């Protein structure tokens, strides 16, 4: 059968897919079964030889995926199919102890925690690479003055370094959130059908503790049949939040790459890349547009997981099908957009010529705030200074030179000299602590 999901052939990095694919899920379920057997042997509930044999056979080298799928078509239960195949591989003496006292989601939820842990390791590595690329560019363009924009209009000067450093600080916060939630997210359960642990007997707490210690996970304090979904919801909210930042970055690059702006652009392979099937001159920001679409797709998976947190009594099956989509898709997409943005930033093309030209074309009127502060420093009231410069700006937009209009005002001429006005109208003299703020962010060791 040909693949249908674009993750199978178009999007996502293989490293992340290998952690989250179906085979990886089954292998981690086998890992949990083996850990359970070892714990039960440690407390004396099953023979140590049986635990050793279960551990040896709990691998896809021995457990056939084809056989699991064959049995599942008959019994319509994936974990039961896996348990039967593993039991058969272990033989009669050891096989009878496989899955003893456990319920399916003791295995599934604990296995999902293992997958999420490995996936987060990869994602955090991707974030580190993006932060490093951004930090390098922020330092390089620390002092490059450009026109700032608010509401799509010229504002006051900023530096490209500060624009990029803002993203560095924001991504560090995302990384910190991912780290901080790990103890809440990375937990498993071994407490049976409704969370009482009755089938595990008097050693239930000890068995659960041994399993989770063996696997390097925390334990759900109080489970029903499943680990409570507020934990996964937190992960998916954090991934959605991260996607907003990545899309914001992509949108800014796309905006500044517009033909009439042309200040920065994503990398474009001029030797072979095609921008359009008909307009051969095009150099479209396809990576940033791709990031935008995938970010929105990622966030679209958030609502189904919120709904999965609502279960009938101790559990129903409504979350199972949902999470088979949501978990791998959100993690693969998150890693994909971070990796693609790293490529964009690493190869970011900066046109200093266009930046300087746009700053000049913005005109002296964008320095109105600078003039206000100069006039206030000379004794004029803030509101009066604002009105004087506002009126001058309105005349500027009707075609009159801003500087001349200002100097025509007696209240202005009485307070400042032409040389002082020249200095106030120079964008390079009005970037405040932009460079120092970049330095502070880059020197910070906050994760």
Euclidean distance between CA atoms 268 and 261, whole angstroms: 17
Exposure of 60 in the CB half-sphere (CA atoms within 13 A): 11
Burial class of residue 99 (count of CB atoms within 10 Å of its CB; 0-12, 13-18, 19+): buried
Q: Which two tokens stand for residue 276?
A: 């359009």
326 in Cβ contact with 304 (< 8 Å): yes
**What letter does residue 156 receive in the DSSP assignment?**
E
Long-range contacts of 134-139 (CB under 8 A, 24+ apart): 134/164, 134/165, 134/167, 134/168, 134/171, 134/345, 135/168, 135/442, 137/161, 137/164, 137/345, 137/348, 138/162, 138/164, 138/165, 138/168, 138/438, 138/441, 138/442, 139/438, 139/442
130 in Cβ contact with 171 (< 8 Å): yes
Residues in Cβ contact with 200 at an 8 Å cutoff, skipping those fewer than 6 apart: 101, 102, 190, 191, 192, 207, 208
Residues in Cβ contact with 123 at an 8 Å cutoff, skipping those fewer than 6 apart: 16, 178, 331, 334, 335, 338
List 74, 151, 259, 446, catalytic entry: 151
| Antiparallel, parallel or unpaired: β 145-150 and 264-265 | unpaired
Active site residue 151: yes
Strands (E), 204-267: 218-219, 264-265
- 278-287 burial, b at 16+ Cβ within 10 Å, e below that, comes to eeeeebbbeb
List 22, 77, 276, 321, catalytic entry: 276
- 196-230 burial, b at 16+ Cβ within 10 Å, e below that, comes to ebeebeebbeebbebbbebbebbbbeebbbbbbbe
Active site residue 276: yes
What is the CA 295 to chain-centroid distance, rounded?
9
Residues in Cβ contact with 71 at an 8 Å cutoff, skipping those fewer than 6 apart: 80, 81, 84, 85
Residues belonging to the active site: 151, 276
């Amino acid at each position: 059968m040909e693949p249908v999901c674009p993750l199978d052939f178009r999007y996502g990095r293989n490293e992340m897919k290998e952690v989250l694919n179906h085979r990886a899920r089954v292998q981690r379920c086998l890992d949990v079964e083996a850990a359970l057997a070892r714990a039960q042997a440690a407390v004396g509930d099953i023979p140590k030889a049986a635990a050793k044999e279960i551990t040896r056979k709990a691998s896809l080298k021995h457990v056939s995926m084809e056989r699991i799928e064959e049995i599942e078509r008959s019994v319509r239960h994936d974990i039961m199919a896996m348990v039967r195949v593993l039991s058969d591989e272990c033989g009669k003496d050891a096989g009878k102890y496989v899955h003893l006292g456990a319920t399916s989601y003791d295995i599934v939820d604990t296995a999902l925690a293992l997958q999420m842990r490995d996936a987060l390791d990869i994602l955090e590595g991707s974030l580190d690479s993006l932060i490093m690329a951004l930090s390098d560019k922020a330092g390089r363009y620390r002092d490059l003055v450009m026109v700032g924009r608010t509401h799509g209009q010229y504002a006051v000067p900023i530096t490209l370094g500060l624009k990029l450093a803002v993203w560095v600080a924001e991504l560090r916060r995302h990384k910190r959130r991912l780290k901080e939630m790990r103890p809440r997210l990375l937990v498993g359960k071994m407490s049976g059908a409704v969370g009482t642990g009755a089938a595990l007997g008097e050693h239930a707490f000890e068995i659960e503790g041994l399993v989770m210690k063996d696997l390097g996970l925390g334990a759900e304090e109080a489970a029903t049949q499943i680990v409570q979904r507020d934990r996964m919801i937190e992960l998916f909210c954090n991934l959605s939040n991260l996607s907003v930042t990545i899309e914001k970055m992509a949108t800014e690059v796309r905006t500044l790459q517009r033909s009439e702006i042309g200040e920065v652009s994503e990398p474009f392979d001029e030797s072979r890349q095609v921008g359009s099937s008909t307009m051969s001159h095009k150099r479209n920001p396809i990576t940033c547009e791709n990031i935008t679409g995938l970010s929105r797709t990622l966030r679209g998976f958030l609502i189904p997981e919120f709904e999965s947190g609502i279960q009938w009594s101790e559990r129903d099956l409504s979350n199972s099908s949902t999470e088979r989509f949501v978990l791998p898709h959100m993690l693969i997409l998150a890693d994909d957009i971070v990796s693609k943005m790293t490529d964009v930033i690493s190869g970011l093309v900066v046109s200093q010529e266009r930046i300087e030209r746009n700053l000049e074309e913005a005109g002296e009127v964008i320095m109105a705030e600078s003039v206000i502060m100069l006039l206030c420093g000379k004794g004029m009231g803030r509101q009066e200074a604002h009105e004087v410069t506002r009126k001058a700006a309105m005349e500027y937009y009707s075609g009159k030179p801003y500087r001349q209009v200002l100097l025509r005002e007696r209240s202005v001429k009485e307070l400042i000299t032409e040389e002082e006005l020249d200095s106030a109208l120079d964008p390079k003299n009005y970037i405040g602590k932009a460079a120092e703020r970049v330095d502070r962010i880059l020197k910070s060791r906050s994760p």
